[in-house]
Amino acid sequence: MSDLVEYETMSYSVADHIAHIRLTRPEGANAVSVQFAKDLRACTLAAHYDDDVRVLLFTAEGRVFCAGGDLVEFNEAGDALPTVASDMLTDFHGALYRMHRMTKPTIAAIGGAAGGAGLSFACVFDLVVAAENAKFTMAYTNAGVTPDGTSTYFLARHVGLRRALDLTLTNRVLTADEAEAWGLVNRVVPKGEADAAALEMATKLAGASSFAVGNAKRLIYEGFDSSLEESGEREMHMITTSMGMADGKEGINAFVEKRAPEFNAGS
């Protein structure tokens, strides 16, 4: 277990092969600010380069997972806002690109509202557990601005083009159950139980074959934008590679012997 690292807007620690990243500015609704973006990039870099980390788990303090961009900070920037926002998005988007590209699964526990950049942020995770009281809304055009946080890439892939347009143009608010039905979240659990349910999911993935889980993630995302033949060729290469590795041999052997497999980190 690693020591807890306290950033200004979030904390970071590693235990049982899970990087725990917790948003810790509930008084500011865990909004995306210049500092938030810097902290997020630092946390994702730390998790990416730590060989002990197999899964990233994000949680948040307070009733709001992330309320979107920090409009108070933006307002205070005055005429410098475009430059401030550009610098912030370099860090914010850089962190999101890394989360998506890394083979380590990313999981979010959303126990409250996710709006604007908070919803964009939620779209990036591989798996999302939401409490039944959670709410989701894009909200950008209500503030007279266009979307960011890579939502124009992910949102339609999760919910479909017309639903993405509905959410973005009308700022419709989705309940947790609606978000699950639309494909925006994976699980809905009782109020107050999102963190525990997401941790259970992360623990299960951390105990699996990291090679198989990580490359299964990669195959799914790459297959979405590829031809049938390209996807099939990648699958053939990856499964034959995994079959020759220790975890692949152990998994097949355990299945035949009707026992639980014992996987090794990174193999």
Nearest to 45 by CA among 113, 96, 83: 96
What does the DSSP assignment read for 214-243?
A: HHHHHHHHHHHTS-HHHHHHHHHHHHHHHH
Length, in residues, of the chain: 267
Q: Please list the residues that pair with 55 across neighbouring strands.
A: 18
Q: Known catalytic residue: 70?
A: no
Catalytic residue among 39, 148, 195, 247: 148
Measured between alpha carbons, how far is 209 from 14 in angstroms, rounded to an integer?
18
Q: Classify the C-alpha dihedral 143-80-75-87 as positive or negative.
A: positive
| E strand segments, the chain | 5-6, 10-15, 18-23, 55-60, 64-66, 106-110, 113-115, 127-131, 135-137, 174-175, 187-189
H/E stretch holding 256 reads helix 246-256
Distance CA 5, CA 48 (A): 16
Q: Side chain identity at 61, as an amino acid letter?
A: E
Cβ-proximal residues to 117 (8 Å cutoff; 6+ apart), any chain: 31, 32, 66, 68, 69, 92, 148, 149
Catalytic residue among 16, 50, 93, 158: 93
93 is catalytic: yes
For residue 29, the one-letter residue type is A
- The catalytic residue positions are 93, 148
